[in-house]
A = this chain, B = another copy of it.
Amino acid sequence: MSERVDRFLPGRGLKTTRQRQAVVRVFLHSHRHLSAEELHSRVRAVYPRIGYATVYRTLRLLVEAGLAEERQFGDGRARFESALHKGHHDHLICVKCGRIAEFENPRIEELQATAARRRGFKVRSHKLEIYGLCPQCR
Give chain A's interface residues, CB within 8 Å of chain B: 70, 72, 74, 90, 92, 94-95, 101, 103, 105, 107-108, 111-112, 115-116, 119-135, 138
| A121-B130 contact, Cβ under 8 Å, with A72-B72, A72-B74, A74-B72 | yes
Copy tally for this chain in the complex stands at: 2
> Which residue of the partner chain B has the closest CB to A138?
B122
> Which residue of the partner chain B has the closest CB to A112?
B130
Contact A131 B120 (CB under 8 A): no
Q: Which of A103, A130, A133 has the most CB of B within 10 A?
A: A130
Contacts of A101 in B (CB 8 A): 119, 121
- In the complex, how many angstroms separate the beta carbon of A96 from the nearest chain B beta carbon? 10
